[in-house]
Amino acid sequence: MITTLRHTLLPLAAALLLTACASSRVAPPSPVEAPAQFKEAALWQRAAPTTAVPDDWWTLFKDPVLDELERRLVIGNENLKSLVAAVASARAILEASRSAMAPTLAADLSATRNGASSALASTTGQNSGNNVSLAANASWEVDLWGRLSQASSGAQALLQASADDLAAARLSAQATLAQTYFSLRTAEAQQLLLERSVQAYQRSLDLTQARYSGGVAARTDVLQAQTQLKSAQAQAADLTAQRSQFEHAIAVLLGVAPSALTIERTAILMATLSAPESLPATLLERRPDIAAAQRRVAAAYAQIGVADAAFFPALTLSANAGHSQSSLANLVSAPRLSWSLGASLAEAIFDGGQRRQASAQARAAADQATSAYRQTVLTALEEVENNLVLADQLQRETQFQEEALQAAQRNLEITLDQYRAGTVSYLNVVVAQTAALTSESSLLGVRNRQLAAVNQLLKNIAGRWQEANANQAMMPIEATSQK
């Protein structure tokens, strides 16, 4: 029987298989072509692709407190825990799709008692009795058209995409933590600057009051000095609140309550890295968000194969065997064995266009995934270009701001000497002190933006660049005092 069935079905299956292979497997489109070089970098070097994000990339900033916070982030961040669960769910879906390709085996043990009324029993001669049966059933769907294998391939791609989503979220959280930490240290440095400025303004106020008491200064000089002092104190209070908010944000990123985290104050910004002159091609190819988008394209095209396979008949092989008698005693015995083997070939004749619409929907979803993938690549290119030019320009801006600060501090020294000599009014001192404070505060802001740009560039390229660039760091920045 089995031999006859094989001879009947296999030629038909072979003919249908050739047709199905030609129509159900659709190749994904080609990705976005990478440019020959970055517009804002000197050279784009060709390299082999990889999707691994370098570990501990933030250690390039050489800050032990940041290193410890980043370590705690990976352990405690609740968003990352959620994505870990999503990866586990995708893995379970993959295992379920693989198990669908394996045969199924079921066992059934049943016991019944049946009977008839006295009148019916006297007519038919059938009395009440027991029936006990034990049966085993096996079935296996032959994956002739690749429906099951395509579904498994799609589930595999989605699992990889989920893992890439986790890596992308981890990278984003690490970069966010680093930027928040930079802002916290900047707020501390600006606080220290204002505290020193308050001390300098207090000395100026004391000097002005002494001159006013001596009759050589106007009352307006005292009021201007008081206004300047109180304004600086108000700015310092505002920075205290900002610093606390940054610390609270870091605590939430670590997955703890704000009251459970205290970061020791240093008021020092860490070293700033210089952007490299050349970038290898791997720096974009290893980005997890690009890898996730690419794998979703693969999953979408696998779904086209699943939808197209529904146009072809499903071949299922089945077998069952069982025993039946009136009692459990000697139930499993050869004389009471019954069995059957068979195959079924099922094909929908009319479905109101459901399969055609499912195929069209799968193709539209694949087009959507492809566009999303290409947009992800283009956005990645834009982000790298933006932060390359930003890091370069901020380095120049830092140099100009340092020169402006030096000039403002020298002007303040001269103006104070002139005021002590009585050749200028206190308004000139206020203007000079304000210019010096603004210049130094602006320098701290530029340094913070510089760290942010380099941090974003490291995020955009998914980690480190050449290790040699780590030695190009500038000296730590500390707020200087007002004179």
First to last CA, the chain: 104
Integer angstrom CA distances of residue 287 from 51, 61, 168, 292, 388: 6, 21, 8, 9, 17
pTM of the model: 0.75
The answer to whether 417 and 362 are in contact (CB under 8 A) is no
> Which residues sit opposite 478 in a β-bridge?
268
Residue appearing with tokens 């994000």: 53
Q: How far apart are CA 144 and CA 11, in angstroms?
A: 12
Domain coordinates in residue numbering, the chain: 34-102+143-311+366-478
Q: Say what the pLDDT of residue 404 is.
A: 92
Q: Which amino acid is at 214?
A: G
Specify the pLDDT at position 473: 36
- pLDDT at residue 117 in the model: 59
Q: Rg of the chain over CA atoms, in angstroms? A: 38
Element (H, E) at 454: helix 426-460
Pairing of strands 43-45, 278-280: parallel
The pair of three-digit structure tokens given for residue 297, joined into one six-digit string: 């394209």
- What strands lie across the sheet with 104-114, from one edge to the other? 104-114, 129-142, 314-325, 337-346
d(CA 362, CA 23): 14
* The token pair that represents 444 in the structure block: 């701290």
The answer for 134, left when phi > 0, alpha when psi is -120 to 50, beta otherwise, is beta
Rounded distance between C-alpha atoms, residue 206 and residue 419, angstroms: 13
Residue 65 Ramachandran class (φ > 0 left, ψ -120 to 50 alpha, else beta): alpha
**Predicted pLDDT at 246:** 95
Per-residue pLDDT tens over the stretch 318-347: 888 776 666 666 655 556 677 788 777 777
Nearest alpha carbon to residue 54 among 371, 337, 464, 466: 464
Distance from chain centroid for Cα 242: 27
DSSP string, 31-92: -PPPPSS-TTSSEEE------PPPTTGGGGG--HHHHHHHHHHHHH-HHHHHHHHHHHHHHH
Determine the pLDDT at residue 354: 85
CB 143 within 8 A of CB 103: no
Per-residue pLDDT of the chain (483 residues; tens, 9 = 90+): 334 333 433 343 333 333 334 334 555 655 555 554 455 443 444 334 455 666 788 888 889 999 999 999 988 888 899 899 999 999 998 888 888 888 888 888 877 777 655 665 556 555 666 777 778 888 888 877 888 888 888 889 999 999 999 999 999 999 999 999 999 999 999 999 888 888 888 988 888 898 888 888 788 888 988 998 998 899 888 989 999 999 999 999 999 999 999 999 988 887 777 776 656 656 777 788 888 999 999 999 998 988 888 888 887 888 887 766 666 666 555 566 777 887 777 777 887 888 888 889 999 999 999 999 989 888 888 888 888 888 888 888 888 988 999 999 999 899 988 888 888 888 888 888 888 888 888 898 989 898 998 888 888 888 777 543 433 333 333 334 344
Selection from 412, 419, 407 nearest residue 197 by Cα = 412
Check if CATH label 1.20.58.220 holds for domain 34-102+143-311+366-478.
Answer: no
Give the C-alpha distances (Å, rounded to integers) separating 152 from 2, 3, 11: 29, 31, 27
DSSP, collapsed to helix, strand or coil, labels residue 284 as helix
What is the distance between the alpha carbons of residues 166 and 174, in angstroms, rounded to a whole number?
12
* Token pair of 298 as six digits: 């693969």
pLDDT of residue 29: 57
- Whether the CB-CB separation of 215 and 222 falls below 8 Å is answered with no
Mean pLDDT for all residues in the chain: 79
pLDDT digits over 397-425, tens only? 888 988 999 999 999 899 988 888 888 88
pLDDT reported for residue 242: 92
Write out the two tokens for 362: 């799968």
Q: In 3D, which of 476, 412, 402 has the Cα closest to residue 439?
A: 402
Q: Say if strands 314-325 and 129-142 run parallel, antiparallel, or are unpaired.
A: antiparallel
Task: List C-alpha distances in Å: 433 to 121, 414, 438.
Answer: 117, 11, 8
CA pair distance 175, 308, nearest whole angstrom? 43
What residue type is assigned to position 29 of the chain?
P
